[in-house]
Structure 1
Amino acid sequence: MQNSNITMPQLNDINTTFRRYVGIFLNYWWVFLILPAILGIGTYFYSSSQDTMYEATSTLLVEQRRTGGVAGVSDFTLSEDLARMYMKQILSTPFISRVVEEPDVKYNVDELKLMLTADAHINPPTLDVIIRNSDKTEAADVANKIAATFINYTVELRLAEIAKIQTAALSQGLPNVQELVASNFTTLDSLSLLEPAAPPKSPAFPRTKRNTAIGVMLGFLLATFLSVLLSSITSTIKDVENIYNQFGVPTLGNIFRWGSQNDQNEVLTHTDPSSPYSEAFRHIRANFQFATANKQPPLFLITSPGPGEGKSTIISNLGASLAQNGKKVIILDADLRKPTIHRRFNLKKREPGLSTFLSDKDLTPSEIIMNPGIPNLDIIPSGPVPPNPSELLGTERMKNLCNDLHSKLNYDYVLLDSPPILVVADGSVLASIATAGILIVDGFSTKIGSLQSAVNTLNGTAIETLGIIVNKLKNSRFSYGYRYPYYYNYYYYQSYYQYNEAGEKTEKQEKRSTKSTIKKLFRWSK
């Protein structure tokens, strides 16, 4: 017996696929609301504007016997064939012209052709005469009139055929003409009225309810297609859980979209260690320390595919979080083109800095190292913007500085804040110095193609890409890729830290509780 058990990887794939499509539905819920509504309402009003038509059916029973005895199997077969022949005959112009000749028929041939349809059934052999008319009584009357006329019409045709046979036999001098005629009479087709048409109780057209339901269903199908198409076109990092499968690089952690620009510019792991963001960075710190274990020298490049994705924010908070854990950390602002690290830590100046040290061989590392007031954390600011950043970063003096910070000054972690790796060559130059790299991506705007190019670029520099940190995730219950182990802890920690040791609500939370709750609810609804 074949084992039909599903393995855990298969279950994970099923779960990921299920969540992806559920996420598409939830992210584009407005498409699933609007399109079915538009098509449903449209088909409703279109159907309602059509003329009401009633459908009346008169049913004829078709029988043919080759002998006068009990009907056999061959007789039923002949009757079925005859019913199909009658279906074509009743719709023919000669017969309809015959109906029009009747004194109480007020329609011409073309009008009757538009009203009349026929349907043959084989078990039992029957023929339905169907009339559509805006007047239900008129529809039934016309159906019955046509059925009665057709019965007479077929008898007349058969009698005319027998008369021709009789005339031909007499002209040929054949004997027993009366017996030949009698045998033909016994094989006359038996066509009788099985069920006369009655005025229908409800109109057959338009079928407003059915058409509206079909319109809504088509709307859902179109919404599904459009949602999948939109999801593919936007091609941003929406499914965090699938990053490893897609790029071969693990996710070290995720940060929800920042509440304000001030929050993003601050080192919240230092200024507000009880905030949900600080807890998120502690999660990232744990993954980072696990991923960098036994990586020597501990020189790590922090970069991003493009500008504005939050790498300086991430490296500042990660550095502060590592320092809080008792590690000696130094951050080098190696983004010599657009330096921001000094502003994150409220340093009054960025000179002398890295560019100064690389240009002046008389300077020592201790002369450019600054402390931002955080224990175990030091900063080397960028210094003045040089005319040749790539050349300075690629010098032997830069390599020696990075190695000395660990080997001589005993820093546990040396973090390099690099320019975007796809924008300028500086990132690739720094990658040749670092032991491993980490990519920061914007969960709202980074394109999949950009992330793939950044991963390929880092891999091309022969350093290991430790992982990806996804920044600015949409913290909405409608997103499908943004759930991770500490998702709910954001709210547990926030509630927990609203109270001091005495069990009283803190002044900060007392002032912000109502206002911040309203703001968060508004952000979650986006």
Structure 2
Amino acid sequence: MFTKKKRPMQTVARKLVTKYNPKSIVSEQFRTVRTNINFSMPDKELKTLLFTSSSPGEGKSTSAANVAIVFAQEGKKVLLVDADMRKPTMQYTFRTTNTTGLSNLLTKQWSLEEVTKVTDIEGLFLMTCGPIPPNPAELIGSKSMDVLIQELTAQYDLVIFDTPPILSVADAQILSNKCDGTILVVNSGTTEKDSVIKAKEALTSAKANILGTLLNNFMLEKDHYYYQYYGTGE
């Protein structure tokens, strides 16, 4: 019984490594990502950031969550929005409910205050997807989304959107045009080069501001300088 209860927390701990193991090598890499994002737009304030990938299972949601955490740890007021209204996962990552969220807000069923959740990480707030709608792309492209983004950027220092894979549906492509910056998550060793190229082309055609690519699940050699400097990260 004890083992069965412990597994979910172990899974969450692996996903939210920047919260549960902030001294690890992986957490340090997410802080490096934060630094690179901060320097990516020196002439304009970055208020909205979108995460997507070319295909499912590349770790975009986990990456978005950890980047949100390190920005909150930096002292920013951050809102993480699960804009994947096809296959939402943030309710599992943060061990909360998904009864109300973004879809309710865009259809004017609930208010912003009613669908925003306070996390146990100082400075980090969460908006889950809410009930999965029949028309996600239409909601993402609606005037209601434009108004919502204006409202969110007035209340938060940074708003991070987790979106579906860009080659699967149009949602990420539509929303990337509305955001200040986009990060494309690529899973090391599994993502096909052609898929990455097509994903970049889709974002470029949407006039997205691609800040860079986040290479996920890259294995460092034991003699890499991060191992020498940071040790095992335990």
CA distance in 2: counterparts of 1:362 and 1:386, whole angstroms: 13
Q: In the alignment, which residue of structure 2 is the partner of 1:356?
A: 104
Structure number with larger C-alpha Rg = 1
1:337 and 2:86 equivalent? Answer: yes
TM-score normalised by the chain length of structure 1: 0.41
**1:394-409 counterparts in 2 under 5 A?**
394-407=141-154, 409=155
CA distance in 2: counterparts of 1:370 and 1:263, whole angstroms: 18
**SS of equivalent to 1:320:** helix
CA shift, 1:263, in A, is: 6.6
Deviations 1:270-305 (A, max 9, x none): 111112211111111111111144434611111001
Q: In the alignment, which residue of structure 2 is the partner of 1:119?
A: none
CA distance in 1: counterparts of 2:228 and 2:136, whole angstroms: 43
**1:89-168 counterparts in 2 under 5 A?**
none
1:440 and 2:185 equivalent? Answer: yes
**SS of equivalent to 2:164:** coil
Deviations 1:483-519 (A, max 9, x none): 9xxx422453235x66xxxxxxxxxxxxxxxxxxxxx
CA distance in 2: counterparts of 1:490 and 1:368, whole angstroms: 42
Matched letter for residue 157 of structure 2:
D
Aligned length: 225
**SS of equivalent to 1:473:** coil
1:382 and 2:119 equivalent? Answer: no
Could you tell me whether the CA contact under 8 Å between 1:265 and 1:313 is conserved in 2? no
Deviations 1:322-355 (A, max 9, x none): 11011111111000110011211111x0121001
CA shift, 1:266, in A, is: 2.5
Q: In the alignment, which residue of structure 1 is the partner of 2:196?
A: 451
Matched letter for residue 230 of structure 2:
Y
TM-score normalised by the chain length of structure 2: 0.89
- 1:488 alignment partner, one of 219, 225, 233: 225
1:287 and 2:32 equivalent? Answer: no
CA distance in 2: counterparts of 1:294 and 1:340, whole angstroms: 34
Matched letter for residue 385 of structure 1:
I
Q: In the alignment, which residue of structure 2 is the partner of 1:472?
A: 217
Q: In the alignment, which residue of structure 2 is the partner of 1:88?
A: none
More helix by share: 1
CA distance in 1: counterparts of 2:152 and 2:62, whole angstroms: 22
- Which has the higher relative contact order, 1 or 2, with Cα contacts under 8 A spaced 6 or more apart? 2
**1:11-410 counterparts in 2 under 5 A?**
262=11, 265-296=14-45, 298-347=47-96, 349-359=97-107, 361-407=108-154, 409=155
Which structure 2 residue ranges, 5 or more long, are not aligned? 1-9
Deviation above 6 Å: which 4+ runs of structure 1? none
Could you tell me whether the CA contact under 8 Å between 1:346 and 1:372 is conserved in 2? no
CA 1:491–1:310 in 2, change beyond 3 Å: closer, same or farther?
farther
**SS of equivalent to 1:466:** strand
CA distance in 1: counterparts of 2:228 and 2:139, whole angstroms: 46
Could you tell me whether the CA contact under 8 Å between 2:179 and 2:208 is conserved in 1? yes
**SS of equivalent to 1:331:** strand
Matched letter for residue 105 of structure 2:
F
Deviations 1:391-423 (A, max 9, x none): 11111111111121112x1x1111110100011
1:412 and 2:157 equivalent? Answer: yes
**SS of equivalent to 2:217:** strand
Matched letter for residue 203 of structure 2:
L
CA shift, 1:262, in A, is: 2.5
CA distance in 2: counterparts of 1:346 and 1:290, whole angstroms: 32
**SS of equivalent to 1:401:** helix
Matched letter for residue 131 of structure 2:
P
Matched letter for residue 489 of structure 1:
Y
Which structure 1 residue ranges, 5 or more long, are not aligned? 1-260, 478-482, 499-526
Matched letter for residue 354 of structure 1:
L
**SS of equivalent to 1:421:** coil
